[in-house]
Amino acid sequence: MKEHNDIIDAVYKVIQERKQNPSEKSYVASLYAKGLDKILGKVGEEATEVAIAGKGGQTDEVVCEVADLWFHTLVLLSYYDLPPERIYAELQRRFGTSGLEEKASRTGRQETS
């Protein structure tokens, strides 16, 4: 399972580098220059495109749009300096738990916060 994480980690590392050392030729740097709202807009846009591709049923389109969504999600994580390991750990915590139970436990946590 680890080898699949390697590409996510590598892309995240490049995103962090572009954030810390912006260049005029960097798409990532341009997103950071435009701010959080732009990054969030791209995440929303890509999520919508995933849904449209999923509805269309063309598997190659689904793959491309999910890759775009994951990329922009990594940009968002980098904005907050949240490494992918935090997401891996959260998924590991949830693994083996009923989705309904896990969702109910989050709802309970949010109400008591």
The single residue listed with the structure tokens 């190659």 is: 60
Residues 70 and 96 in one domain: no
Residues 75 and 96 in one domain: no
CATH number, domain containing residue 61? 1.10.287.1080
* Percent above pLDDT 70 for the chain: 82
What is the reported pLDDT for 22?
A: 95
What is the reported pLDDT for 107?
A: 63
Tens of pLDDT along 2-55? 556 699 999 999 999 999 999 999 999 999 999 999 999 999 999 999 999 999
At 111, give phi and psi (nearest 5°).
-70, -30
In terms of DSSP H, where are the helices of 1-113?
2-20, 27-34, 36-56, 59-79, 84-94, 99-112
What is the extent of the structural domain holding 113? Answer: 84-113
